[in-house]
């Protein structure tokens, strides 16, 4: 079956896609095959490549947005997976090539990019201090949130940190295994390194391969678990810092805050791109656009300098001459 070869041979062996990408592609085709069965009355076994025409794809994408309430970005991600399969299939079924070309012409949908939101330093400090330090869970949450803010890491990167990835001697740093299987090292602030030393003494397992921030069972925390713990910290912090109630805060919000605070501290944008693990510094430019403080400083440079000198007035003879012209 062509679809099976696409997943086993093309994605796994030839392209060596990550398990997360393959899972996303799998979910796309599960949705498509279910939709095709409802729309065309054909089971996945009887569905032919020629059935995947532009009309069906457009109806499927519309179904995702209207009935499943998917965002435009999710819609485009599903379309990207389908395009990848159609390009692969074009080499094996030349008879369906005209239909595939029409399907590949289905465009990505444009969408509005919302203004980037981030937390102030006072708000971040309130969130980091919110977990109760007396219990094991509170100590883990405080260390976890501090690591998120220090590194600006994605939540998927933080939950996979193992004890061996944290270097606390001489020049403290942490090795992160990032998106797209890219690895990077991020320095730790002195306060963060000290907090990590205290946290490591609280761990039940000190083996190098153990997770640095495990759940109660010693296993890897899930992303939803981190989101829940952050929500609890924000709720507690909002008692003292009421401005937190105006924000919708996720682990990615802390990543944004790290980038903005580095930018406001004068760190070069290319260094921030390396810090966050961006493939291109162009991705980091959205933080420049969102920083109103930097915009105000630039605006102030354009203001004319104030002067106490009187306004120039030409001599009376010159004024009479000009008036006579």
Query: Which residues does the annotation mark as catalytic?
Result: 154, 179, 252, 255, 278, 287
Paired residues of 183 in beta bridges: 177
Distances (CA, A) of 1 to 25, 47, 92: 16, 11, 11
Distances (CA, A) of 228 to 66, 242, 244, 316: 29, 20, 16, 79
Nearest-angstrom CA–CA distance, 152 and 220: 19
Distances (CA, A) of 91 to 97, 100, 175, 207: 9, 11, 41, 49
Cβ atoms of residues 277 and 178 within 8 Å: yes
User: Residue 218: CB partners within 8 Å, gap ≥ 6?
Assistant: 204, 205, 210, 211
Backbone dihedral angles phi then psi of residue 136, each to the nearest 5 degrees: -65, -45
Distances (CA, A) of 190 to 30, 71, 118, 200, 287: 48, 41, 24, 16, 25
Paired residues of 162 in beta bridges: 211
Classify the C-alpha dihedral 235-236-242-244 as positive or negative.
negative
Place of tokens 């609890």: 232
Q: What is the CA radius of gyration of the chain?
A: 28
DSSP 206-234: --TTSBSSB-TTSSBPPHHHHHHHHHHHH
């Amino acid at each position: 079956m062509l679809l099976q070869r696409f997943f086993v041979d093309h994605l796994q062996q030839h392209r060596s896609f990550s398990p997360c990408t393959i899972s996303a592609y799998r979910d796309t085709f599960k949705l498509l095959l279910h939709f095709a069965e409802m729309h065309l009355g054909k089971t996945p076994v009887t569905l032919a490549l020629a059935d995947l025409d532009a009309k069906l794809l457009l109806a499927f994408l519309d179904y995702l947005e209207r009935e499943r309430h998917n965002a435009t970005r999710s819609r485009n991600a599903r379309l990207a997976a389908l395009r990848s399969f159609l390009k692969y299939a074009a080499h094996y079924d030349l008879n369906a090539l005209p239909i595939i070309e029409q399907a590949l012409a289905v465009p990505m949908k444009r969408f509005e990019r919302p203004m980037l939101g981030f937390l102030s330093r006072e708000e971040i400090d309130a969130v980091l201090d919110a977990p109760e330090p007396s219990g094991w869970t509170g100590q883990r949450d405080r260390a976890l949130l501090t690591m998120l803010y220090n590194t600006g890491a994605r939540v998927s990167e933080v939950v996979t940190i193992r004890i061996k990835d944290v270097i606390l001697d001489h020049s403290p740093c942490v090795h992160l295994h990032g998106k797209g299987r890219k690895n990077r090292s991020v320095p730790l602030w002195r306060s963060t390194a000290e907090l990590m030393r205290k946290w490591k003494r609280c761990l039940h397992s000190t083996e190098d391969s153990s997770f640095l921030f495990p759940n109660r069972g010693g296993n890897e925390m899930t992303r939803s678990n981190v989101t829940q713990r952050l929500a609890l910290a924000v709720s507690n912090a909002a008692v003292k810092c009421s401005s937190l109630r105006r924000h919708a805060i996720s682990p990615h919000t802390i990543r944004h805050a790290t980038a903005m605070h580095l930018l406001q501290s004068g760190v070069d944008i290319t260094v921030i791109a390396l810090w966050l693990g961006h493939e291109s510094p162009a991705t980091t430019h959205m933080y420049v656009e969102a920083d109103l403080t930097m915009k105000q400083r630039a605006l102030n440079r354009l203001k004319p300098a104030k002067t106490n000198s009187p306004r120039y007035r030409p001599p009376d003879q010159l004024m009479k001459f000009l008036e006579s012209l």
